[in-house]
Amino acid sequence: MRICGAVTCSSIATTSNSILVYISSSISSPSKTKFLPSLSRFSVGRSCFFPQTRSHITIKPSMNLLNRLGFGSTRAPENMDSTIPQGPDDDIPAPGQQFAQFGAGCFWGIELAFQRVPGVSKTEVGYTQGFLHNPTYEDVCSGTTNHTEVVRVQYDPKECNFDTLLDVFWDKHDPTTPNRQGNDVGTQYRSGIYFYTPEQEKVAKESVEQRQKQLNRKIVTEILPAKKFYRAEEYHQQYLAKGGRFGFKQSAAKGCNDPIRCYG
C-alpha cells in the first residue's frame, strides 16, 4: 500500500515551526488534522494512483527538513547503529536452493518479474543494508535508515543460473539513476546486487562490465554482500500477482511475458 491515493482531498501547509496535513473527506463532515510520517510518497507523477483532481499540495518539504521536525522514523537514535542489521543474512534456503537479493526500485514489479522465471521457487520482498533493526515500511520511507527495498529470490541453480537472474534484473530497471526509479525517489529505490557467495560476486561484477558497454551513462548499481533480510509487511508480498489495491491480478506463471503494470 502506497500512501498516495489514500485521501480524497488534502492540503499541506507549513510554518517555521510545524508541518500540518489537513485532510477533509466528502464522507466525514468534520475536518480532521492528521500528521503523516513521510511525505516522500507525494511525488508528482507517481505511477501509483493519486487523485489529482481533488488534491492540492501547496509545498513539498525536503525529507531532511521533515526529519529535523520529527517526521520519519521514531526509533531511538541508539537503535540506528545496531550491529544486527549489518550482519549477514542468516536465513537458510531450502535444500539444493540458493538465495540472491536484488534492489531495483519499488519491489512490487521486480518481484513479479522474478516470480515468472523458471527455476525460481520462492520470492519475498523486504528491506536490507540499513542500520535499524526490524524496520517498518514507514521507517524505510523516512530516508533515515539507509535500507533499500529488495526482492530475495530463492532458486534452483540446476534449473536457473545466476546469470539468468541478472538478465532479469538489468532488463527491469534503470541502473544509471542513483536513488531513483522513475518518479520513485529515495535511498530505498537504489540499484543493488547483494551476493551470498564469492561466485555470485564474481558473476555480478562481470555482468556490470558487460552491461556498461551497452549504455552511455554510468551504472551506479552497488554490489555488496547480502546482509540481514527483513521481510516486508504481508500486504507487500506478491503484491501485483494478488491484484494490488484494485484487484487487477497479473500473471506470475513461469515464462509469462505479459507487460508488468505497477500501481498502488
Please report, for the domain that includes residue 191, its CATH number.
3.30.1060.10
Verify that 50 and 163 share a domain, yes or no: no
Counted domains in the chain: 2
Q: Can you tell me the mean pLDDT for 61-77?
A: 48
| Residue 103 covered by a domain | yes
- Return the axis-axis angle of helices 198-212 and 162-171, rounded to nearest 10°: 40
CA–CA dist 264, 253 (Å, integer): 22
Domain boundaries, position 129: 98-246
Verify that 43 and 160 share a domain, yes or no: no
Verify that 63 and 102 share a domain, yes or no: no
Residue 106 is among the residues annotated as catalytic for this protein? yes
CA–CA dist 36, 148 (Å, integer): 21
| Residue 123 covered by a domain | yes
Verify that 110 and 60 share a domain, yes or no: no
Among the listed residues 106, 141, 160, 262, the single catalytic one is: 106
- Secondary structure of residue 202 in the 3-state scheme: helix
pLDDT score of 71: 52
Verify that 112 and 236 share a domain, yes or no: yes
> Which residues, 6 or more positions from 27, have their beta carbon under 8 angstroms from its beta carbon?
8
| Residue 15 covered by a domain | yes
Q: Can you tell me the mean pLDDT for 69-74?
A: 52
CA–CA dist 121, 230 (Å, integer): 19
- Secondary structure of residue 32 in the 3-state scheme: strand
Nine-digit cell string for 216 = 552511455
Verify that 65 and 120 share a domain, yes or no: no
- Secondary structure of residue 108 in the 3-state scheme: helix
Q: What is the pLDDT of residues 12-51, one digit of tens each?
A: 333 334 333 333 333 334 433 333 333 333 333 334 332 3
Verify that 28 and 131 share a domain, yes or no: no
| Residue 65 covered by a domain | yes
Q: What is the pLDDT of residues 194-236, one digit of tens each?
A: 999 999 999 999 999 999 999 999 999 999 999 999 999 999 9
| Residue 2 covered by a domain | no
